[in-house]
Amino acid sequence: MAKGGIGNIMKQAQQMQRRMAELQEELESKQVEASSGGGMVTAVVSGKQQLLDLKIDPTAVDPEDVEMLQDLVTAAVNEAIKQSQKMAQEEMGKLTGGMNIPGLF
């Protein structure tokens, strides 16, 4: 009887592993977008927290104030990454039933 229980647990673990691999593939194709400076800088990040695109409105480029542009880029990229991480956690929560399993994402 104990073997059947272990076998069932192993089968469930394999199913979870397969679904996690599928989720990781799905996250690669998902994107989030965040902007700063009223849309002057927009960052697009994948569900795997990779910067895919960065758009800068030409009016944001002021040679006299490069620091402002750097701040806008940093803010947009950081917000997009934050949104991407939140999306990944929500998707993983659906898979794990809300259990927080360290090291998955």
Asked whether residue 39 is domain-assigned, the answer is yes
What is residue 1's predicted lDDT score, i.e. its pLDDT?
46
- From residue 83, how far is each of 2, 38, 60, 69, 88 by CA, in Å? 44, 18, 23, 21, 9
Asked whether residue 104 is domain-assigned, the answer is no
Indicate the SS3 state at residue 102. coil
What is residue 13's predicted lDDT score, i.e. its pLDDT?
81
pTM assigned to the model: 0.73
Calculate mean pLDDT across residues 73-78. 97
pLDDT in tens, 9-47: 888 888 888 888 888 888 888 999 999 999 999 999 999
Secondary element (H or E) of residue 51: strand 51-56
Asked whether residue 101 is domain-assigned, the answer is no
Asked whether residue 28 is domain-assigned, the answer is yes
Number of domain units in the chain: 1
Residue scoring higher pLDDT (19 or 52)? 52
What is residue 55's predicted lDDT score, i.e. its pLDDT?
97
A 10 A CB-CB count for 99 gives 9
- Distance between CA 34 and CA 78 in Å, rounded? 9
Asked whether residue 62 is domain-assigned, the answer is yes
Give every CB contact of residue 5 below 8 A, 6+ residues apart in sequence.
Answer: none
- Domain containing 78 equals 2-96
Asked whether residue 44 is domain-assigned, the answer is yes
| CATH of residue 85 | 3.30.1310.10
What is residue 104's predicted lDDT score, i.e. its pLDDT?
53
